[in-house]
Amino acid sequence: MENNKVTKTKAASIAALSLLSLVIMVLGAYYIVHSTKNGITIKVINASVPGSVFGLLVLYLGFKYWISVRKLRTEVYKPSSRFSIKNFSRKGK
């Protein structure tokens, strides 16, 4: 019974991270459309950069995060994966 609980917890965590990455991608795509439609520019130093470039960056980062979550999912769902505090220690000391 305990193992089934851990599996549900893992699945819920991965689903939440996947949903978050999809929301980031949707917001990036929305900002691309919004800034293109309304002519939004962002002032960077002394140059005006189109807002769609910022939206493209957000879309890219959301996609990269989604790929990372997919890789994490394959690692977490392995039967041999266990939590250990040693995973957080610095290596090379």
Per-residue H/E/C for 36-49: HHHCCEEEECCEEE
Let me know if residue 82 belongs to a domain. Answer: no
Q: Is residue 87 part of a domain?
A: no
Taking only the tens place, the pLDDT of each residue in 60-92 is 999 999 999 998 888 877 777 776 666 666 665
Q: Does the pLDDT value for residue 5 go beyond 60?
A: no
Confirm whether 92 is domain-assigned: no
In angstroms, the CA 45 to CA 40 distance is: 16
Which residue range is the domain that position 19 belongs to? 2-77
E strand or H helix at 84, and its extent? none
- The answer to whether position 44 is within a domain reads yes
The number of distinct structural domains making up the chain is 1
Which pTM does this prediction carry? 0.76
Q: What is the pLDDT of residue 90?
A: 66
* Residue labelled with tokens 């851990």: 6
Burial (CB count <10 Å: 0-12, 13-18, 19+), residue 32: buried
Residue 23 within a domain:
yes
